[in-house]
């Protein structure tokens, strides 16, 4: 059988054969330059002092689930509420869905869009215009299926745009992960601040009781003529100062609770609030090895997001380059037409219309677009390098803090022990008439300051562990993401 003769016998298949051939021709590589990851502009090791203090065995931050670090049941419940309700995290999740849809839209440009249409036309021609000398009413019915303006991606323009959309989607996913990690750290930090201020509130109330007892004792000594009125007034002043500090502590606890509820995006039941004296038992007693600085490139979601943006900018250069070359688009339809609906399938129509567009003069627009794409890539390189440097500094800073925080806490505990014993001795000497009331006041103030500093040192120790966990990229949980997706209306 003669193939040419056979093809002439079936002309309705010509547009589809041509369209399939064009689709095969469009499967080519892009004009984007090869991507090369920029060298990390950081030292290969952490600063020696910080690294030595932070060395230790154990799982890395990304391998340690946050539920194993935050061991307190109330704290874990508060974090779960925040992950379910926080608006920032919800916006980040919706941004992922938007980026995914945009990627699907751009990817669909690579395949032909097939559509079907049907029409019916009735036309009346008056007798004065018709060739028969009488009114003529004509009818036509048509059904068409075809491809409209499908661009052949001969030079990879559409593929480059698709790659850019994909990298934008991946960058959005990493941004959501960074939001997730930051939210857990912020909630834990706010909860610890509330716990520390709750301890300060309890200390303020205890101080009021102590100052009240001292004031009453001085009143008794005045009545017994063993003290002067000056010492009574001094004791009264210390009592009122303690009451003012108690009110300030109450205000700070209320502010901390409001800040925590904003992160959680829901009212906190009283049963989930931290108890006094529990500050140092909210986290697991462990240290987290920092690994090498190069590990940040795969562990930090903000760095990965910046790299995806950089890869997308690199792909956009390919699209800008492809704009200099000819663009070929195809339109092909196959249908049936008839003057009667009953005879619709009696005759066939087809159309094949290729079109080529060659840029000749654009006033420098295409060159400017390519220059803009190249400059944008350099901007994204700088942002990527900056994100690495920022991450390196954050980790180095918290490692330096972790190197001294335990020693500072031990020193504060010894200070509290010494100040408490000194206060007891001064009070005993004053009761025996050996020391003046000014010595007692000075010892009370020193002891109160030492106890406050101890609470702050405990908070600093716990917060430094939370910060280290966050800056190393810990806190991401795919199980949490699945649970949020199921709970989303």
Gap between the Cα atoms of 337 and 2, Å rounded: 30
Instruction: For residue 377, report the phi and psi dihedrals to the nearest 5 degrees.
Output: -65, -40
Predicted confidence at residue 231, as pLDDT, reads: 80
For the chain, the first-to-last Cα distance in angstroms comes to: 63
CB atoms within 10 A of CB 246: 18
Alpha helices in 120-228 (DSSP H): 157-223
Q: Could you state, in chain order, the average pLDDT of each consecutive group of 10 residues for the chain (489 residues)? A: 42 43 52 92 79 57 91 95 88 85 83 76 74 72 74 86 92 92 94 96 94 84 73 86 94 96 93 92 87 91 95 94 88 68 61 82 90 95 96 94 92 95 90 83 92 95 94 81 53
Predicted confidence at residue 403, as pLDDT, reads: 87
Q: Quote the distance between the C-alpha of residue 225 and its chain's center.
A: 69
Gap between the Cα atoms of 379 and 370, Å rounded: 14
pLDDT, tens digit, 9 for 90 and up, residues 448-470: 999 999 999 999 999 999 999 99
Predicted confidence at residue 22, as pLDDT, reads: 43
Predicted confidence at residue 97, as pLDDT, reads: 87
Domains and CATH numbers, the chain: 38-123+136-487 (1.20.1600.10)
Predicted confidence at residue 454, as pLDDT, reads: 96
Predicted confidence at residue 149, as pLDDT, reads: 77
Gap between the Cα atoms of 332 and 337, Å rounded: 16
Predicted confidence at residue 71, as pLDDT, reads: 92
CB atoms within 10 A of CB 120: 10
Gap between the Cα atoms of 195 and 137, Å rounded: 89
Q: Which residue has the tokens 């663009």?
A: 327
């Amino acid at each position: 059988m003669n193939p040419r003769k056979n093809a002439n016998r079936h002309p309705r298949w010509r547009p589809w054969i041509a369209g399939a051939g064009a689709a095969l021709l469009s499967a080519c590589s892009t004009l984007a330059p090869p991507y090369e990851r920029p060298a990390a502009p950081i030292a290969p090791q952490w600063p020696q002092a910080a690294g030595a203090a932070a060395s230790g065995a154990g799982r890395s931050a990304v391998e340690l689930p946050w539920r194993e670090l935050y061991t307190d049941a109330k704290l874990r419940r508060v974090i779960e509420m925040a992950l379910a309700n926080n608006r920032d995290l919800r916006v980040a999740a919706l941004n992922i869905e938007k980026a995914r849809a945009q990627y699907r839209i751009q990817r669909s440009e690579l395949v032909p869009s097939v559509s079907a249409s049907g029409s019916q036309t009735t036309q009346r021609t008056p007798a004065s215009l018709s060739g028969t000398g009488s009114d003529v009413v004509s009818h036509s019915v048509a059904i068409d299926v075809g491809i409209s303006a499908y661009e052949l991606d001969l030079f990879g323009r559409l593929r480059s745009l698709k790659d850019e959309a994909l990298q934008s989607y991946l960058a959005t996913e990493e941004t959501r992960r960074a939001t997730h990690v930051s939210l857990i750290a912020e909630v834990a930090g706010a909860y610890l601040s509330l716990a520390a201020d709750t301890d300060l509130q309890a200390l303020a109330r205890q101080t009021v009781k102590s100052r009240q007892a001292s004031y009453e004792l001085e009143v008794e000594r005045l009545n017994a003529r063993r003290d002067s009125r000056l010492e009574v007034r001094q004791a009264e002043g210390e009592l009122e100062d303690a009451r003012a500090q108690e009110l300030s502590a109450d205000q700070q606890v209320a502010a901390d609770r409001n800040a925590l509820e904003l992160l959680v995006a829901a009212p906190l039941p009283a049963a989930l609030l931290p108890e006094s004296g529990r500050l140092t038992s909210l986290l697991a007693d462990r240290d987290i090895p920092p690994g090498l600085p190069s590990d940040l490139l795969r562990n930090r979601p903000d760095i990965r997001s910046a790299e995806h943006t950089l890869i997308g900018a690199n792909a956009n250069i390919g699209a800008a380059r492809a704009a200099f070359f000819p663009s070929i688009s195809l339109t092909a339809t196959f249908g049936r037409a008839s003057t009667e609906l009953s005879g619709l399938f009696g005759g066939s129509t087809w159309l094949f219309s290729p079109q080529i567009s060659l840029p000749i003069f654009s006033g420098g627009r295409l060159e400017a677009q390519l220059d803009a794409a190249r400059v944008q890539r350099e901007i994204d390189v700088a942002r990527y390098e900056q994100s690495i440097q920022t991450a390196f500094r954050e980790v180095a800073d918290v490692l330096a803090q972790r190197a001294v925080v335990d020693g500072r806490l031990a020193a504060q505990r010894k200070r509290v022990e010494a100040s408490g014993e000194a206060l007891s001795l001064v009070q005993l000497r004053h009761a025996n008439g050996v020391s003046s009331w000014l010595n007692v006041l000075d010892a009370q103030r020193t002891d109160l300051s030492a106890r406050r500093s101890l609470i702050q040192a405990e908070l600093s120790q716990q917060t430094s562990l939370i910060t280290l966990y966050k800056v190393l990229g810990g806190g991401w949980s795919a199980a949490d993401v699945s649970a949020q997706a199921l709970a989303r209306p």
